Amino acid sequence: MATNRRDFLTAAVTAVGAAVTPDLSHAHQHDHEHQAVPSDPTLRVKALESLLVEKGLVDRSALDAVVEAYEHKIGPRNGARVVAHAWVDPAYKQRLLTNATAAIAELGYSGPEGEQMLVVENTPKVHNLVVCTLCSCYPWPVLGLPPVWYKSAPYRSRAVIDPRGLLREFGLQLPGDVELHVWDSTAELRYLVLPERPPGSEGLSEEALSGWVSRDSMVGTAKVVKPTEGDRP
Amino acid sequence: MNGIHDMGGMQDMGPLQYEKNEPVFHADWERRVFAMVWATDTPPGSRYQRELIPPSEYLRISYYEKWLTAFVELMLKHGMITQAELETGKPVSSTPKGKLLTASQVPTELTKGDPSVRNVPVTPRFQTGQRVRARNMNPVTHTRLPRYTRGKIGTIERDHGVFVFEDTQVQQLGEKPQHVYSVRFTARELWGEQASRHDSVYIDMWDDYLEPA
């Protein structure tokens, strides 16, 4: 039933797409058996957007503003600033660990998928790893939108049953006696890992420190290390 | 629902696909899908709608294709668009069902979010440190109780306060606000002796998911 529905939708939205693409419309008229549906969803999405704009359900410039924000403003550099600030300011770190949402908002970060935040701290004895086995829950205001691997079946399935094997695939070998805490964020709280401050970072400014903090270290799939030339955190 | 989305503990899903310096979006249509879902005033249920994608499809299609499929289904379900409109691309009704988000409202919305904490007095059924069992239940509708925890014994580590209960909210059965706890399960309780005795999984669970152990 649902599959039929989807086939129907594909066909239907393609019909809409055809209206704005004369060549495709022409091809469709002449051969109904032929799969004129483009595998690329580009046309379907264009058609849907036009429909929603015409119906007054979305505003194109609002969509542009949303894309702009998540592509250029809301990303892991925000989380890196939170981490670096916690490393240099013990009182802030305390606030971050006891009331993460408010402490993160102090630095100006809040919004969807960050309404209720928790920060979990890595230490020499405890390593934290974040996953959402049911979905793709991720702390957008501090890390931006999740990478494909975080939303993928291999990561979601293994993070809870074989976290050490998974971390090895990321190149992180945890000592056997380190406690590993996996946070399956299936409810409404979102998690940020506070990684350990690495050796060799003494004396660096907060700004320079934040440049060392990678996205993966704040999910728990990596540790913070001194960046090498050409690396993008 | 015991669907394909409930992946925790499954095996043989293949190697991790890691892309170095991954872009936020991989195609322009992904940008538009994300923004449309973000900006459109749909009722709650996007996530459940994605869970309803048939398993073979769910595994085959990309993340934003899931978003697109579920978004269209949800709008159809709530009468925000009709099948005829999808077919023709022309609006039948001119009265929009839902508020229009304008560009000038976006900056505020970006910082606001949609908190699911509720400031109402509800008595917690469990205390920090208490041993609890995740209930063995198999609802056919939306739930945030992963299969791999059902029937397992854990410890309440923290009380997060009172939250909207997604299981009922998604079905339009009301918010049923209740306490959510961080529950710690040892890896050995979940997976047996093969697991490291140094590992645990922490999951946030609503009161209705738990019983005393």
Give, in degrees to the nearest 5, the angle at Cα B122 between B117 and B125.
110
Q: What is the spatial distance between Cα A183 and Cα A189, in angstroms, rounded to a whole number?
A: 10
- Is residue A34 pLDDT above 90, yes or no? no
A171 touches chain B (CB under 8 A): no
Please give the backbone phi and psi of residue B211, each rounded to the nearest 5 degrees, phi first.
Answer: -140, 155
Q: Quick one: what percent of chain A has pLDDT higher than 90? A: 80
pLDDT in tens, B74-130: 999 999 999 999 989 889 876 778 899 999 999 999 999 999 999 999 999 999 999
Cβ-based contacts of A52 with chain B (< 8 Å): 36, 40, 81
CB contact under 8 A, B31 and A71: yes
Q: So what CATH class is B131-212?
A: mainly beta
Task: Label residue A19 by pLDDT band (50, 70, 90).
Answer: very low
Comparing CA positions, the residue from B172, B175, B136, B210 lying closest to residue B48 is B172
- Over residues B131-144, the mean pLDDT reads 98
Q: Let me know: does B150 contact B170? Beta carbons within 8 Å.
A: no
Looking at chain A from residue 35 to 54, which residues have their Cβ under 8 Å from any Cβ of chain B? 40-42, 44-52, 54
| B52-75 pLDDT per residue, tens | 999 999 999 999 999 999 999 999
Quote the pLDDT of residue A6.
43
CA-based nearest distance A36→chain B, Å: 15
Taking the Cβ of residue A134 and every Cβ of chain B, the question of whether any pair is shorter than 8 Å is answered with yes
In B52-165, which residue ranges form alpha helices assigned H by DSSP?
55-60, 63-77, 83-88, 106-112
Binary contact (A63, B39; C-beta < 8 A): yes
Beta carbon pairs, A and B, within 8 Å: 288
A168 touches B35 (CB < 8 A): no
A182 touches chain B (CB under 8 A): yes
Amino acid occupying residue B104: S
Output b/e per residue, B89-107; b: 16+ Cβ within 10 A.
Answer: bebeeeebbbebbeeebbe
Task: Note the pLDDT of residue B42.
Answer: 93
- Is the sign of the CA dihedral B66, B68, B71, B73 positive or negative? negative
The residues spanned by each domain of chain A are 2-58, 74-219
Could you read off the pLDDT of A140-189 as tens digits, one per residue?
Answer: 999 999 999 999 999 999 999 999 999 999 999 999 999 999 999 999 99
Arithmetic mean of pLDDT, B27-49? 96
Task: Name every residue whose Cβ is closer than 8 Å to that of residue B111 and which is 6 or more positions away in sequence.
Answer: A110, A111
Q: Could you state, in order of their start, the residue ranges of all structural domains in chain B? A: 28-112, 131-212
Looking only at the bridges linking them, the beta strands covering A190-194 and B131-134 are: unpaired
Q: Around Cβ A3, how many Cβ atoms within 10 Å? A: 11
Pairing of strands B178-186, B199-206: antiparallel
Query: Chain B partners of A41 at a C-beta cutoff of 8 Å?
Result: 29, 33, 65, 68
Nearest CA in chain A to B89: A16
Task: Tell me how many helices (H) and strands (E) chain A has.
Answer: 13, 4
CATH 1.10.472.20 for domain B28-112: yes
CB contact under 8 A, B94 and A179: no
Question: pTM for the whole thing?
Answer: 0.90
CATH of domain A74-219: 3.90.330.10
pLDDT confidence bin for A25, thresholds 50/70/90: very low
* Residue among B39, B69, B91 minimizing CB distance to A58: B39
d(CA A104, CA A119): 10
pLDDT, tens digit, 9 for 90 and up, residues B177-206: 999 999 999 999 999 999 999 999 999 999
Other Cβ atoms closer than 10 A to A174 = 18
Q: A191, A183, A196, A201: which is closest to A223 by C-alpha? A: A196
